[in-house]
Amino acid sequence: MKELSDLTAGKTALVLDQKDNVAIALTDLASGDTCTVAEDGGKKYEAIVIEKIPFGHKFALADLAPDAPVYKYGEEIGKMKVAIKKGAWIHIHNLYCERGM
Protein backbone atom coordinates (compact mmCIF):
# COMPACT_ATOMS: atom_id res chain seq x y z
CA MET A 1 0.00 0.00 0.00
CA LYS A 2 1.06 3.57 -0.57
CA GLU A 3 2.12 5.84 2.25
CA LEU A 4 -0.05 8.90 2.95
CA SER A 5 2.77 11.08 1.61
CA ASP A 6 2.47 9.23 -1.73
CA LEU A 7 -1.07 10.50 -2.36
CA THR A 8 0.19 12.99 -4.91
CA ALA A 9 1.00 10.14 -7.33
CA GLY A 10 -1.36 7.69 -8.98
CA LYS A 11 -5.10 7.24 -8.58
CA THR A 12 -5.95 8.48 -5.09
CA ALA A 13 -8.81 9.72 -2.91
CA LEU A 14 -9.20 11.08 0.60
CA VAL A 15 -11.78 10.60 3.36
CA LEU A 16 -11.84 13.74 5.50
CA ASP A 17 -13.55 12.33 8.62
CA GLN A 18 -14.19 8.82 9.94
CA LYS A 19 -17.95 9.48 9.83
CA ASP A 20 -17.85 10.25 6.07
CA ASN A 21 -19.47 7.88 3.58
CA VAL A 22 -17.82 9.58 0.60
CA ALA A 23 -14.26 9.95 -0.61
CA ILE A 24 -12.83 12.94 -2.47
CA ALA A 25 -10.97 12.22 -5.72
CA LEU A 26 -7.45 13.71 -5.64
CA THR A 27 -7.05 12.94 -9.34
CA ASP A 28 -9.44 12.48 -12.26
CA LEU A 29 -10.78 8.92 -12.08
CA ALA A 30 -12.24 6.87 -14.93
CA SER A 31 -14.90 4.18 -14.68
CA GLY A 32 -13.25 0.99 -13.47
CA ASP A 33 -10.23 2.70 -11.91
CA THR A 34 -8.91 1.33 -8.64
CA CYS A 35 -7.65 4.05 -6.35
CA THR A 36 -5.98 4.21 -2.96
CA VAL A 37 -8.26 5.81 -0.36
CA ALA A 38 -6.64 7.35 2.72
CA GLU A 39 -8.74 8.04 5.79
CA ASP A 40 -8.16 10.42 8.65
CA GLY A 41 -5.99 8.50 11.11
CA GLY A 42 -3.85 6.78 8.49
CA LYS A 43 -6.06 3.87 7.38
CA LYS A 44 -5.64 3.10 3.65
CA TYR A 45 -7.53 0.76 1.33
CA GLU A 46 -8.41 0.24 -2.33
CA ALA A 47 -11.71 1.38 -3.90
CA ILE A 48 -13.05 0.89 -7.41
CA VAL A 49 -15.05 3.70 -9.01
CA ILE A 50 -17.88 2.74 -11.35
CA GLU A 51 -18.12 5.97 -13.33
CA LYS A 52 -16.00 8.99 -14.22
CA ILE A 53 -15.15 11.06 -11.12
CA PRO A 54 -13.61 14.49 -11.75
CA PHE A 55 -10.79 15.76 -9.54
CA GLY A 56 -12.20 17.17 -6.29
CA HIS A 57 -15.56 15.43 -6.60
CA LYS A 58 -17.14 12.85 -4.29
CA PHE A 59 -17.83 9.17 -4.77
CA ALA A 60 -19.77 6.76 -2.56
CA LEU A 61 -17.92 4.39 -0.24
CA ALA A 62 -21.05 2.24 0.18
CA ASP A 63 -24.36 1.65 -1.57
CA LEU A 64 -26.73 4.50 -0.67
CA ALA A 65 -30.54 4.42 -0.81
CA PRO A 66 -32.82 7.32 -1.75
CA ASP A 67 -32.92 9.88 1.08
CA ALA A 68 -29.81 8.35 2.70
CA PRO A 69 -27.68 11.03 4.36
CA VAL A 70 -24.33 11.89 2.76
CA TYR A 71 -21.51 12.78 5.14
CA LYS A 72 -18.44 14.86 4.25
CA TYR A 73 -16.25 16.67 6.83
CA GLY A 74 -18.09 14.54 9.43
CA GLU A 75 -21.29 16.49 8.74
CA GLU A 76 -24.38 15.71 6.70
CA ILE A 77 -24.08 17.70 3.47
CA GLY A 78 -27.25 16.39 1.85
CA LYS A 79 -29.29 13.33 0.99
CA MET A 80 -29.45 11.09 -2.04
CA LYS A 81 -32.18 11.78 -4.60
CA VAL A 82 -31.83 8.23 -5.95
CA ALA A 83 -30.16 4.96 -4.98
CA ILE A 84 -26.52 4.65 -6.01
CA LYS A 85 -23.89 1.93 -5.83
CA LYS A 86 -20.53 2.01 -4.08
CA GLY A 87 -18.03 3.82 -6.31
CA ALA A 88 -20.63 6.07 -7.99
CA TRP A 89 -20.21 9.82 -8.47
CA ILE A 90 -22.11 12.03 -6.01
CA HIS A 91 -22.88 15.55 -7.16
CA ILE A 92 -25.84 17.91 -7.65
CA HIS A 93 -27.48 15.58 -10.19
CA ASN A 94 -28.18 12.96 -7.50
CA LEU A 95 -27.82 14.84 -4.18
CA TYR A 96 -30.13 17.36 -2.54
CA CYS A 97 -29.75 19.53 0.52
CA GLU A 98 -32.77 20.37 2.67
CA ARG A 99 -30.94 23.36 4.16
CA GLY A 100 -31.30 25.23 0.85
CA MET A 101 -34.97 24.35 0.33
Query: Which range of residues forms the domain containing residue 92?
Result: 4-100
The structure's pTM equals: 0.87
CA distance 101 to 96: 9
pLDDT tens per residue, range 17-55: 999 999 999 999 999 999 999 997 889 999 999 999 999
Domain count, the chain: 1
The CATH code of the domain that includes 46 is: 2.30.130.110
Residue 101 has a pLDDT of 64
What percent of the chain has a predicted confidence (pLDDT) above 90?
Answer: 83
What's the mean pLDDT when you consider all of the chain?
91
Residue 76 has a pLDDT of 95
pLDDT tens per residue, range 45-87: 999 999 999 999 999 999 999 999 999 999 999 999 999 999 9
